[in-house]
């Protein structure tokens, strides 16, 4: 869950996959799995080669931060 929250934070204003990989310190294969899961849950979306946290993702991240889940 920490990784998912970190990805959502990095993508708040848009981020390339490389920025996400380095920001969360993952290899590309594992990052792809997390990104795919977040896309499937509509928490993040891809616009060309940029990933952006959706409104639903922002609410999720904010709630997790408030609850100090991560």
Q: Where are the domains of the chain?
A: 2-65
Q: Decide: 5 and 61 in contact? Cβ < 8 Å.
A: yes
**Burial category of 67 from C-beta neighbours within 10 Å (exposed 0-12, middle 13-18, buried 19 and up):** exposed
Q: Decide: 20 and 7 in contact? Cβ < 8 Å.
A: yes
Tens-place pLDDT, residues 4-61: 999 999 999 999 999 999 999 999 999 999 999 999 999 999 999 999 999 999 999 9
Chain-centre distance for alpha carbon 32: 11
SS3 45: strand
Q: Decide: 64 and 70 in contact? Cβ < 8 Å.
A: yes
Pick the CATH number of 2-65 from 1.10.760.10, 1.20.120.140, 1.10.8.60, 1.10.10.10: 1.10.10.10
Kindly tell me if the per-residue pLDDT of 70 is higher than 70.
no
């Amino acid at each position: 869950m920490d990784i998912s929250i970190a990805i959502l934070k990095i993508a708040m204003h848009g981020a390339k996959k490389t920025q996400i990989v380095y920001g969360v310190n993952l290899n590309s294969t594992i990052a792809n799995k997390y990104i795919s899961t977040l896309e499937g849950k509509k928490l993040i979306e891809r616009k060309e080669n940029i990933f952006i946290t959706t409104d639903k993702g922002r609410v999720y991240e904010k709630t997790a931060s408030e609850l100090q889940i991560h």
